[in-house]
Chain A
Amino acid sequence: MLAHQQAVFRFAYLLLGDADDAEDIAQETFLRAWNHLRRFDETRSLRPWLLSIASNLSSNRRRSAGRYLAALTRAFREQPKDRLIEETHSQSAEADQLWKAVQRLALPDQQVIYLRYFLDLPVAETAETLQIAEGTVKSRLNRALEKLRKIIDRDFPVFADRREGREA
């Protein structure tokens, strides 16, 4: 439990954007895992199974809070662009901007990006968590990145310029 609590908490936090909700989901994840332990195949890795439970619970939570989140999202999008992007050299602020951009994606695209890039899971574990084929992980990731790039170019211009500038 100790070995995986951070990954489960962080995944739930990324999906829900709220630390209290993430804690609730993480607790429920481990309780549910305990309850269904006999169904778990011990030859497989525990982490994807736990993350899969966390993903399902988070999805339910998102649905139950869907209207509230939708209102928040609308409010966020209606803000002027220059308020969306704060000029800062903080690396964590840059990561927060990326997170905001990822949150504009559909949930399956968010999930694959969170698992692969934010939590740094291997393709195999990502596939196991999402219960899809490894090839599907790669194709979904490519499509998600394309969409993410467009979102960043369109709605996060300062962030996009900085990324390009750093590369130059």
Chain B
Amino acid sequence: MSEMDFETQMRSIAQRINYPHTPDIAGRVMSRLRRFPSPTGRGVRGEGRSRFISKGWAWSLTLIVVLLFSLMLIPPVRAAVLEFIQIGIVRIFPRPTDTPPLETPRTATPQSFAPVTATPYLESSTLLVDLSRLAGEKTLPQAQSLVSSYYPILLPTYPRDVGEPDRVFVQDADGAMTILVWFDPNDPEKVMLSLHIIPEGSWAIRKSEPVTIEETLVNGQRAVWAVGPYPLRYSNGDIDFTRLIDGHVLIWTDGNVTYRLESNLSMEEAIKVAESLQSLP
């Protein structure tokens, strides 16, 4: 085997190593920064504090926290620090402790606000129940007519044969939220893609500690890629409901509109879909 072959093989094999799941480092670091450490600096394992933190380091941390809090009083700085967990109306909350993610959906779902998800790992029967309970189904022209004063309904042109959505819903979430659903052509009982178009002022959508959160770009604008499972919570202060999302979600904004694309696609493919959105002819 030549040196080049050996190097190529080593590189190829090395890429296949199974790493442990990356914990929520960012969330735990932020949590540590928000809290004053104890004077001894001895951390408690599992609460986001180090096992081997030194006394000197504890005092350094204290100074950092004081500095952070001081900076957080300045609105632009506060916005910059928090920016990475907020996109459009979607807020991503890191898990504050080692609480395991939800294993079953918790539903306090009002009939008229049942969410649509294109969760690839959900059983189709579950999904169809959700769709059948979903209020506000419209035809595409009806939906366009309803929301046209707020935003245009954009449809993907990638993949080329994606076509028009199979189901269209417009729901009042303190703003006319449009949900477009495409079924898998090979298995019409499964959802292939869903696109939420959410205007400013709608209910806040919150997700807590997805397995993966990654910043990326859609049309050169900041976007967030999140991989489940994670609880997704819709709320407007009076009513809220939570359910478990197990799919991959790309979130981005365009002006005052937030887009949320849920699919079982890779991030790269999801970005292609997002960047292919065009107005209805």
Chain A interface (Cβ < 8 Å from any Cβ of B): 1-3, 5-6, 8-10, 13, 19-20, 22-24, 26-28, 30-31, 34-35, 61, 64, 91-92, 94-96, 98-99, 113, 116-118, 120, 142, 145, 148-149, 163-164, 166-167
Contact = CB atoms under 8 A, between A and B. Distances in A.
Given A2-B213, A26-B25, A149-B6, A94 B64 contact: no
B16 A117 contact: no
Contacts of A6: 22, 212
Interface stretch (B45-53, B111-119, B175-183, B229-237): B45-53
Chain B contact patch, size range: 35 or more
Contacts of B166: none
Interface in B168-221: 212-215
Contact of A35 (B20, B50, B60, B84): B60
B33 A99 contact: no
B10 A30 contact: no
Contacts of B26: 1-2, 5, 30
A29 B25 CA distance: 10
B268 interface: no
Nearest to A163: B9
B161 interface: no
B13 interface: yes
Interface of B: 1, 3, 5-7, 9-11, 13-20, 22-23, 25-26, 28-30, 32-33, 45, 48, 50-52, 60-61, 64, 84, 212-215
Given A3-B215, A24-B52, A95-B16, A145 B29 contact: no
A3 B17 CA distance: 20
Given A1-B29, A5-B25, A24-B52, A35 B17 contact: no
Contact of A96 (B18, B29, B60): B18
A31 to B, nearest CB: 6
Contact of A24 (B14, B15, B50): B50
A24 B22 CA distance: 12
Nearest to B215: A3
Contacts of B23: 9, 23, 26
B225 to A, nearest CB: 10
A1 B238 CA distance: 33
Nearest to A92: B18
A2 B215 contact: yes
A27 B214 CA distance: 18
A145 B3 contact: yes
A121 B17 CA distance: 16
